[in-house]
Amino acid sequence: MDYDIKDINLREKGKNRMAWAEQEMPVLRAIKKRFKKEKPLAGLRISACLHVTSETANLMDTLKVGGAELVICASNPLSTQDDIAATLVADYQISTYAIKGEDNKQYYKHLDAALAHNPIITMDDGADLVSMIHSSKKKFAVIGGTEETTTGVIRLRSMAEKGVLKFPVISVNDADTKYLFDNRYGTGQSTIDGIMRATNRLIAGSVFVVAGYGWCGRGVARRSAGLGASVVVTEIDPVKAIEAVMDGFRVLPMEEAASFGDFFVTLTGNTKVLRKEHFDQMKDGSIVCNSGHFNVEIDIPALEKISKQKRTVREFVDEYTLSDGRRINLLGEGRLINLASAEGHPAAVMDMSFANQALSAEYIAKEAANLENKVYPVPKIIDASIARLKLQAIGIEIDQLTNEQVKYLASWDMGT
């Protein structure tokens, strides 16, 4: 078995952390139990490009138990948990290509290694595997893929619209049981966790600027407010901006917020959201970071250009000193801060995200022949079944429609 990881001796720590996460993943556990009996992925080669975390390791285990022949590589150079990579290799015999802090060259070498597995199904977080397959001269036998995150889905939709997508992809991100919980509560909590671990700065009483009031931004805004920050939201979408106002946040252009923010977090999926004109106005000691998928939301080259000095002052904190002496602190090299300096989303939300991944892989295995080269949502029936399993697992019961209510909701002439 081939692999490229930091240190296999970290396996025990990884195994313990994986088991800790599994305790909070009852839906995935139930799927694993069924997969063990039914082997729906028997003999299918899957290449996964995901953040190598304790929750992902539980997904890998589930897919393997379901019969898949698996390899995994990192979907971000800073998100790998090296102990988890070690247990995947040593205890689960899953080829893993992921080292925390790998440079770009090694990152792409790892993607290449995952593709050398000649996948039948791809499992992406950010669409890097799919994009490499489409730009490669090699022929692949992929029947379908899954996509974990908003940015990946945007890339795939653009490929489908241009008619270049060569196989169907299931947009796991757009399942209700994914984005409503993972993006909002998962990114909300873990982004704050990442900022606190990297800086140990007090959030209460600070001005916290959140760029982007999408599912992730809503979570971060709400949680930073909960810690006592005064929150400013920046947006480009008028509807989201009104929502932020009515949720009780101050909405301003970044141009104005830049001069008085203490913390800046970007979660837009867009590029150069924080740039030179904003750095020019920031206070001495400002903290800037990103929790969107790619490290392009903060214009780091522009920051480097206007800085006379850069030094690492703490782990995950680079201090840039500008020519007038002001210091701007960039966290985690502008990469997903929740995975760079913290551990990513809590297992309880990844339980539902990865249940969607496992069931979408099974769906592709069964249905690929009937799908076109498009981006498909997770079938509603799968999404709803995950919600039901989650409720069951946490011991919550809900009401059921009476026959009369079913009839009433289906009618158009029963207004009185």
| Sites of contact with ligand NAI (CB under 6 A) | 149-151, 179, 183, 187, 211-217, 234-237, 240, 267-270, 273, 291-293, 336, 338
Rounded least distance, CB 347 to ligand NAI, Å: 14
Q: Closer CB to ligand NAI, residue 252 or residue 368?
A: 252
Residue 330: CA count within 13 A, CB half-sphere: 26
Q: Give the Å distances, CA to CA, from 63 to 81, 87, 112, 163.
A: 20, 16, 21, 30
Helices (H), 254-400: 254-257, 276-279, 300-305, 337-340, 347-367, 380-393
Name the residue nearer to ligand NAI (CB basis): 211 or 300. Answer: 211
Distance between CA atoms of residues 108 and 125, nearest Å = 14
CA distance 118 to 133: 10
Helix (H) or strand (E) holding 401: none
Q: How far is the CB of 107 from ligand NAI (least distance, A)?
A: 17
Whichever of 215 and 320 has its CB closer to ligand NAI, that residue is 215
Report whether 257 contacts 235 (CB < 8 A): no
CA distance 284 to 173: 38
To ligand NAI, the closest distance from the beta carbon of 299 in angstroms equals 12
Looking at the Cβ atoms of 213 and 363, the one nearer to ligand NAI is 213
> Considering beta carbons, is residue 255 or 315 the nearer one to ligand NAI?
255
Q: What does DSSP assign to residue 283?
A: P
**Closer residue to ligand NAI (CB): 41 or 111:** 111
The H-or-E segment that residue 319 falls in is: strand 317-322
For the CB of residue 194, give the shortest distance to ligand NAI in the complex, in Å: 9
Q: Which is nearer to ligand NAI, 230 or 270 (CB)?
A: 270
The nearest distance, CB 186 to ligand NAI, in angstroms, is: 6
CB of 345 to ligand NAI, least distance (A): 6
Name the residue whose CB lies closest to ligand NAI.
214
Task: Give the side-chain half-sphere CA count within 13 A for 310.
Answer: 13
Could you tell me which residues are beta bridge partners of residue 233? 210, 251
Distance of closest approach, residue 243 Cβ to ligand NAI, in angstroms: 9
